[in-house]
Copies of this chain bind each other. A is one copy, B any other.
Amino acid sequence: MKNKFAERTHLVKPSETREILKITERPEIISFAGGLPAPELFPVEALKVACNAVLNEEGEASLQYSTTEGYIPLREAICQRMKVIGINSTIENVLITSGSQQAIDLTGRLFINEGDTIICESPTYLAAINVFKSYNAKFVEVAMDDEGMVMEELEKKLLEHPNTKFIYTIPDFQNPTGRTLKLERRKRMIELANQYDVLIVEDNPYGAIRFAGEALPPVKHFDTESRVIYISTFSKIFTPGLRLGWICPGERFIDKYVSFKQTADLHTDSFAQRITAKYLELYNIEEHINKIKAVYKERCTAMLSCINEFFPKNINYSMPEGGLFIWIELPESVDSGKLFARCLENNVAFVPGVPFFPNGTKKSTLRLNYSNMPKEKIIEGIKRMGEVLYREIEKETTLIGYSKKMN
């Protein structure tokens, strides 16, 4: 048989990170690798009530084919939630997607021609990299500091790359860095998008999980020309397993999103949509989110204080005010891939930083997740990592000294 695959299939490689995550599922391992919410916080009992109510009251409709756009009461609840954070939208401009991943994928399909440039934070969400690459996009990375993407750098890149289609940004508690784009930069990003005639794709799965500092309006709040395509999800505030995300692209783009969503999977699970809408009707999700915030705050604080105590002093780490992740920058001589192997021998795991950089390799970086492990395991895991780190950094430094002498 001759090769049958389409050319685009070369653009998608099996995810190494997926393999890493499989390894780290072994029960003896303390894993900071995945990006999983804390399952013990899932509202299981409330969902039981919601399931029974939906099946009693609207059983047939909840199991039948439904509209591509999504269940109207759920879209209404989403509009209400968005209004509170400063986004005014009607339900006509909200499309329910099968997780925010599908919203990202549809965005790639709708906007990326071969060779288009996507500007993103450096580093950025690896599954977005994989999707946009599958549409043959080129990535231009913009440096970040502790206050998010650096706007001077962004403008430079916009000037250099006139074929930029959109800026992809995760403004709140970014994946993988945990950093947040500060207020002035949000406004400036809009100005630059207007000036250089590019779109902004605002991926905002974590914004509601702020456990410190002051809430900032989403980038879309400052949108003056309907350039911001806003993507969010119930995965971090409710449950990821139900695969419920949404996209609010503005009226210029919504129809095409609906058409392509229809070709992709007709519509998102009707039952999942209705039990989520029922949950939102019967319960106060803000109370539930507050519980999540309290737990993640405790875990994040524990992790930060252990990093401070047990890691060598010549590393940098981010200090998130929300979300799920901490970003670590090691001395440049340390390869976090090798470190990963050493840590695994000590039954502790993380994700090496390389796959979060679309173009290159910052081998000396890594991502830690704190949402999915209890405090005791965080303390023990960071201790173990610290021991390996001291050993590896010392070794690397010695080797470098040696190699310098050799030259």
Contacts and interface: CB of A to CB of B under 8 A. Distances in A.
Interface residues of A, number: 83
Contacts of A271: 239, 241-242, 272
11 contacts: A6-B112, A34-B65, A42-B64, A47-B63, A98-B98, A98-B265, A127-B262, A130-B263, A243-B266, A264-B264, A265-B265
Interface stretch (A13-21, A79-87, A343-351, A383-391): A13-21
Contacts of A14: 255, 258-259
A13 B259 CA distance: 7
A131 interface: yes
Interface string A250-265: 0011011011101111
A360 interface: no
Interface of A: 1-2, 4-9, 12-15, 18, 34, 36-37, 39-40, 42, 44-45, 47-48, 51-52, 55-56, 59-66, 68, 97-99, 101-102, 105, 109-113, 116, 127, 130-131, 134-135, 165-166, 197, 199, 225, 227, 235, 239-243, 252-253, 255-256, 258-260, 262-272
Contacts of A44: 55, 59-60, 63
A2 to B, nearest CB: 6
Copies of this protein chain in the complex: 2
A110 B11 CA distance: 11
A47 B55 contact: yes
A108 to B, nearest CB: 8
Nearest to A272: B269
A197 B1 contact: yes
Nearest to A43: B63
B42 A105 contact: no
B134 A241 contact: no
A106 to B, nearest CB: 9
Contacts of A197: 1-2
A-B residue pairs, 4 tightest by C-beta: A241-B270, A44-B59, A39-B60, A63-B239
A212 B323 CA distance: 57
Given A51-B55, A60-B42, A265 B8 contact: no
A39 B58 CA distance: 11
B109 A8 contact: yes
B264 A243 contact: no
A283 B51 CA distance: 19
Contact of A243 (B1, B101, B265): B265
A45 to B, nearest CB: 8
